Structure 1
Amino acid sequence: MGGTDMCRVLATQDPRRFQPVSRSLRIAGHSTSIRLESAFWSVLDEIARGEGLSTSKFISALHDEAIELHDGVSNLASMLRTVCLLHQSERAGRQAPA
């Protein structure tokens, strides 16, 4: 792909959205740190607000749900990124014209 054939997706984005950010939180009584790109934290913050929870409590609830339904989480950061994608996809579907 040549320089003039770029899709221009990145050119329209704030580069800070791609910066990794670590947050410390407690899950099941244990302190842990999760590192995600800023854009994912923004989506998680939005989902948590919609649920009436802090982001930390929301992530802890997701972790508990994954343990209950799927016997655990092999990669919490990957699960959280997937939750963000599913949320955005569902949101886009609700906003799509019929």
Structure 2
Amino acid sequence: MKDTQLPETLTYSPPIKRSVLIAGHQTSVSLEPLFWRALEVAAADMSLPVNAVVALVDEERLKVAEPPNLTSALRQWLFGRALGD
């Protein structure tokens, strides 16, 4: 049987709430540390601050008929990015 060990860098942690500035107003987002790290990496790859990336995802999610909450949209965007979509 194939070894199914998880990467040593993966830890299971509860969400952490952080404040972000979107379109001139503060809001809070609760994401697990793994997602915060992925968001920081995405922001660095795009040469943008994290708040700017969150604002872009927020803008895009509001264009769909039934937008998810911002936290859910961020997780989906990050996962899609990881998959190369």
Name the structure with the higher helix share.
1
TM-score by length of 1: 0.69
TM-align CA RMSD: 2.5
Structure whose alpha-carbon radius of gyration is higher:
1
Alpha-carbon deviation of 1:14?
4.5
What secondary structure is seen at the aligned counterpart in 1 of 2:29?
strand
Larger RCO: 1 or 2 (CA < 8 Å, sep 6+)? 2
Q: Is the 8 A contact 2:17 2:30 kept in 1?
A: yes
Structure 1 stretches lacking a partner, 5+ long: 1-6, 92-98
Which residue in 2 is equivalent to 1:33? Answer: 28
Identity %: 27
TM-score by length of 2: 0.77
Alpha-carbon deviation of 1:28?
2.1
Q: How many residues align?
A: 83
Which residue in 2 is equivalent to 1:94? Answer: none
How many angstroms apart in 1 are the aligned matches of 2:68 and 2:14? 24
